[in-house]
Structure 1
Amino acid sequence: MTQTIERQAGGLYVQTPEQQQIAFPLKHTEVQAKIAGNISRVEVTQSFENPFTTTLEAVYIFPLPDEAAVDDMLIRIGDKTIKGSIKKRQEAQQIYEQAKEQGRTAGLLEQERDNIFTQSLANIQPGEQIDVIIRYSESLKFTAGNYEFVFPMVVAPRYIPGIPIEGNAGGVGSATAPMTQNQDTDIVPDGSRLNAPILPSGMRSPHNINVTIEIDAGVEVQNVQSPSHQIQISYAEKRVLVKLAGGDTIPNKDLILRYQVAGESTQATVLSQADERGGHFALYLIPALQYRQDQVVPKDVVFLIDTSGSQMGAPLMQCQELMRRFINGLNPDDTFSIVDFSDTTRQLSPVPLANNAQNRTRAINYINKLTANGGTEMLRGIRAVLNFPVTDPGRLRSIVLLTDGYIGNENQILAEVQQHLKSGNRLYSFGAGSSVNRFLLNRIAELGRGISHIIRHDEPTDEVVNKFYRQINNPVLANINLQWEGDGDSPIIYPATPPDLFAEQPLVLFGKKPDACGGKLHITGIVAGGTRYQNTINLEFEETGNPAIAQLWGRSRIKELMNKMVHGETKLGVEAVTDTALTYQLLSQYTAFVAVSDDVRVNPLQGSVSVQVPVEMAEGISHQGIYGSVAMSIEPIRACIMPAAPHVTPDTPEFLTRTRIPKKQKKKNRPSPGAPEAESFLSEPPSGRLQNKEKYSYADESLEDIDLAAVNFASRIAPVVHLKVVSVTGLNEQMIALLTQYLEAVSLHTGCCGDLVFELQINKGRVRQVLLDEQASTFKEQAVIDVIRRSLISWRIPQLLTTTVSLTVRVQT
Structure 2
Amino acid sequence: MTQTLERQAGGLYIQTSNQQQIAFPLKHTEVQAQVAGNISRVEVTQSFENPFTTTLEAVYIFPLPDEAAVDDMLIRIGDRTIQGSIKKRQEAQQIYEQAKQQGRTAGLLEQERDNIFTQSLANIKPGEQIDVIIRYTESLKFTAGNYEFVFPMVVGPRYIPGTTIEDNTQGGGSAAAPMLQNQDTDLVPDASRLNAPILPAGTRSRHDINVTVEIDAGVEIQDISSPSHQIQIAYEGQRVKVKLAGGDTIPNKDLILRYQVAGKSTQATLLTQNDERGGHFAVYLIPAIQYRPEQLVPKDMVFLIDTSGSQSGAPLMQCQELMRRFINGLNPDDTFSIIDFSDTTQQLSPVPLPNTQQNRALAINYINQLNAGGGTEMLRGIRAVLNFPVTDPGRLRSIVLLTDGYIGNENQILAEVQRHLKPGTRLYSFGAGSSVNRFLLNRIAELGRGMARVIRYDEPTDQVVEKFFRQINNPVLANINLQWEGDGASPVMYPSIPPDLFAEQPLVLFGRKPDSRAGKLHITGIAAGGTRYQHTFQLDFTATGNPAIAQLWGRSRIKDLMNQMVIGETKLGVEAVTDTALTYQLLSQYTAFVAVSDDVRVNPSEASVSVQVPVEMPEGISYEGIFGSAVAPMISTPSTAPEFLQRRRRPESMAQSAPAPISPPVPMAEMPPMAKPSFDVMDLFKVEKKKAKKESNYPIPGGGNFGTTDAELEELAEKLSEIAPVYRPQIVSISGLDQQMLSLLTQHLQSIQFSTIFTGNLVFELQISKGRVRQVVLDEQLSSLKEHEVIEKIRRSLLTWRIPRIFTTTVILTIQMQQV
Q: Using the alignment, how far apart are the partners of 2:377 and 2:171 within structure 1?
A: 24
Tell me the distance in 2 between the aligned counterparts of 1:176 and 1:256: 33
Q: How many angstroms apart in 2 are the aligned matches of 1:104 and 1:713? A: 65
Selected match of 1:754 from 755, 760, 783: 760
SS of structure 1 residue aligned to 2:249 = coil
SS at match of 2:322: helix
Shift in Å, 1:201: 1.5
Look up the match of 1:394: 394
1:646 aligns with 2:651: yes
Segments of 5+ residues of structure 2 without an aligned counterpart are 657-681, 704-723
What's 1:307 paired with?
A: 307
Question: 1:786 maps to what in 2?
Answer: 792
Partner of 2:365: 365
Q: Which residue of structure 2 lines up, in the alignment, with residue 258 of structure 1?
A: 258
Query: What does residue 385 of structure 1 align with?
Result: 385
Q: How far apart in 2 are the matches of 1:310 and 1:764?
A: 33
1:765 aligned to which of 768, 771, 787:
771
1: CA distance between counterparts of 2:702 and 2:515?
56
Find the residue that maps to 1:560 and give its secondary structure: helix
Relative to structure 1, the CA distance from residue 637 to residue 733 in structure 2 (aligned partners, 3 Å threshold; closer, same or farther) is closer
Task: State the match for 1:669 in structure 2.
Answer: none
Q: Is the 8 A contact 2:289 2:503 kept in 1?
A: yes
Are the counterparts in 1 of residues 180 and 627 from structure 2 also a CA contact under 8 Å? no
User: 1:168–1:184: 8 Å Cα contact kept in structure 2?
Assistant: no
Cα deviation per residue 1:306-362 (whole Å; 9 max; x = unaligned)?
A: 000000000000000000000000000000000000000000001100000000000
Unmatched runs of 5 consecutive residues or more in structure 1: 652-695
The root-mean-square deviation of aligned C-alpha atoms, in Å, is: 2.8
Q: Residue 375 of structure 1 aligns with which residue?
A: 375
Q: CA deviation at 1:783?
A: 1.1
Which whole-Å CA distance do the structure 2 matches of 1:117 and 1:170 have between them?
A: 22
Instruction: Output aligned runs, 1:318-717, within 5 Å.
Output: 318-629=318-629, 631-632=631-632, 637-638=640-641, 642=647, 644-647=649-652
> Helix, strand or coil: the match of 1:204?
strand
User: How far off is 1:638 after superposition?
Assistant: 3.1
Q: What is the rounded CA distance, in whole Å, between the counterparts of 2:456 and 2:414 in structure 1?
A: 24
Q: How far off its partner does 1:550 sit?
A: 0.2
Residue of structure 1 in register with 2:675 after alignment? none
Shift of 1:788: 0.5
Letter in 2 for 1:606: E
In the TM superposition, residue 754 of structure 1 has moved relative to its aligned partner by 1.2
Query: 1:679 aligns to what?
Result: none
- Does structure 2 conserve the Cα–Cα contact (< 8 Å) formed by 1:714 and 1:749? no
Separation (CA, whole Å) in 2 of partners of 1:733 and 1:637: 34
Alignment match, 1:142: 142
Q: Is contact 1:754–1:812 with CA below 8 Å preserved after alignment?
A: no
Distance 1:88 1:208, change over 3 A: same
SS in 1 for 2:382: helix
Aligned to 1:687: none
Q: Deviations over 1:109-141 (max 9, x none)?
A: 000000000000000000000000000000000
Q: Cα distance, 1:746 vs. partner?
A: 1.6
For 1:76, the aligned partner's letter is R
Instruction: Measure how far apart 1:13 and its partner are.
Output: 4.6
Q: 2: distance between equivalents of 1:175 and 1:169?
A: 16
| Within-5 A mapping of 1:119-268 | 119-167=119-167, 173-174=173-174, 180-264=180-264, 266-268=266-268
- 1:8-32 CA-to-partner distances (Å, cap 9, x unmatched) read 9xxx552699999743100000000
SS at match of 1:294: helix
Of 290-299 and 394-403, deviating more is 290-299
Please give the alpha-carbon distance, in whole angstroms, between the structure 2 residues aligned to 1:590 and 1:697.
42
CA distance, structure 2, for counterparts of residue 218 and residue 517 of structure 1:
28
CA distance in 1, matches of 2:179, 2:266: 52
Asked if the contact 1:110–1:117 (Cα under 8 Å) also holds between the matched residues in 2, the reply is yes
Does the CA contact (< 8 Å) of 1:14 and 1:22 recur in 2?
Answer: no
* Match of residue 730 from structure 2: 724
- Contact kept? 1:110, 1:589, Cα under 8 Å: yes
Shift of 1:172: 6.5
2-side partners of 1:256 and 1:542: how far apart?
37
- Deviation, 1:168, is 6.5
**C-alpha separation in 2, matches of 1:442 and 1:276:** 32
Deviations 1:397-455 (A, max 9, x none): 00000000000000000000000000110000000000000000000000000000000
CA contact (8 A) 2:431 2:455 kept: yes
TM-score norm. by structure 1 comes to 0.89
How far apart are residue 737 of structure 1 and its match? 1.5
Distance (whole Å) between structure 2 residues aligned to residue 216 and residue 716 of structure 1 = 72
Task: Decide which of 738, 763, 771 is 2:744's aligned counterpart.
Answer: 738
Q: Distance in 1 between matches of 2:179 and 2:436?
A: 23
1:14 match = 11
Cα distance, 1:709 vs structure 2:
10
Provide closer, same or farther for how the CA distance between residues 15 and 406 of structure 1 changes in structure 2, counting only shifts above 3 A: closer
Query: Partner letter of residue 607 of structure 1?
Result: A
537-546 or 460-469, which moves further after superposition?
A: 537-546
Q: Deviations over 1:569-609 (max 9, x none)?
A: 00110000000000000000000000000000000111110
Amino acid at match of 1:373: G
TM-score when normalising by structure 2: 0.89
Contact 2:768 2:775 (C-alpha < 8 Å) held by counterparts? yes
- Residue equivalent to 2:41: 41
- Which residue does 2:296 correspond to in 1? 296
Cα distance, 1:6 vs. partner? 4.4
Shift of 1:202: 1.6
Q: Alignment partner of 1:747: what SS?
A: coil
Q: Percent sequence identity over matched residues?
A: 77
**Partners in 2 of 1:481 and 1:276 — Cα distance?**
29
1:149 and 1:715 mapped to 2: Cα distance? Answer: 58
Confirm or deny: 8 A CA contact 1:59 1:613 kept in the other structure: yes
Contact map agreement 1:267 1:287 (CA 8 A) in 2? yes
- 8 Å Cα contact 2:607-2:650 kept in structure 1: no
- Residues 135/797 of structure 1: CA separation in 2 closer, same or farther (3 Å cut): same
Contact 1:84 1:595 in 2 (8 A): yes
